[in-house]
């Protein structure tokens, strides 16, 4: 799979407790991105954050916080990212979604050098 040098980064901010039917929402998003043939997706669990409600969610050493922040990042060509947006919209009830242009310096393990 090829990723253009000039690509798009789709970033989705959700909560760890958010669900899509029978599974965590972040998992559903990553699996749908894979089904759509996108170049890659990663879900990151945050240690602390707040959103629209301003409720602070934090990971403490002595207790388990609920609904920690999760960020899902997906990188691919702009046309493929935009084609994925209706699928994403069908999964989301809330959250924050951003998109930005990125320069891909390396993709995969083909041994090619990073050449900015």
Looking at residue 54, which CATH number applies to its domain? Answer: 3.30.70.120
**Residue 16, strand partner residues:** none
Count of C-beta atoms within a 10 Å radius of residue 17: 12
Q: Is 115 a member of any domain? A: no
The pLDDT, as a whole number, for residue 65 is 60
Task: Kindly give the parts of the chain with pLDDT less than 50.
Answer: 62, 111, 113
The pLDDT, as a whole number, for residue 56 is 78
CA distance 8 to 37: 15
The pLDDT, as a whole number, for residue 115 is 60
Domain containing 48 equals: 6-100
Q: Is 111 a member of any domain? A: no
Q: Is 79 a member of any domain? A: yes
Give the sign of the dihedral formed by CA 41, CA 12, CA 71, CA 63. Answer: negative
Q: Is 110 a member of any domain? A: no
Total domain count for the chain? 1
Q: Is 107 a member of any domain? A: no
């Amino acid at each position: 799979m090829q990723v253009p040098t000039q690509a798009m980064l789709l970033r989705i901010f959700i909560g760890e407790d958010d669900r899509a039917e029978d599974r965590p929402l972040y998992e559903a998003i990553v699996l749908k991105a894979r089904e759509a043939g996108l170049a890659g997706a990663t879900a990151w669990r945050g240690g602390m954050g707040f959103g629209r409600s301003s409720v602070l969610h934090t990971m403490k050493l002595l207790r388990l916080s609920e609904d920690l922040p999760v960020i899902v990042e997906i990188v691919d060509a702009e046309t493929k990212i935009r084609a994925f947006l209706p699928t994403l919209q069908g999964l989301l009830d809330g959250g924050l979604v951003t998109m930005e242009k990125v320069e891909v310096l390396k993709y995969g393990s083909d041994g090619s050098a990073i050449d900015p």
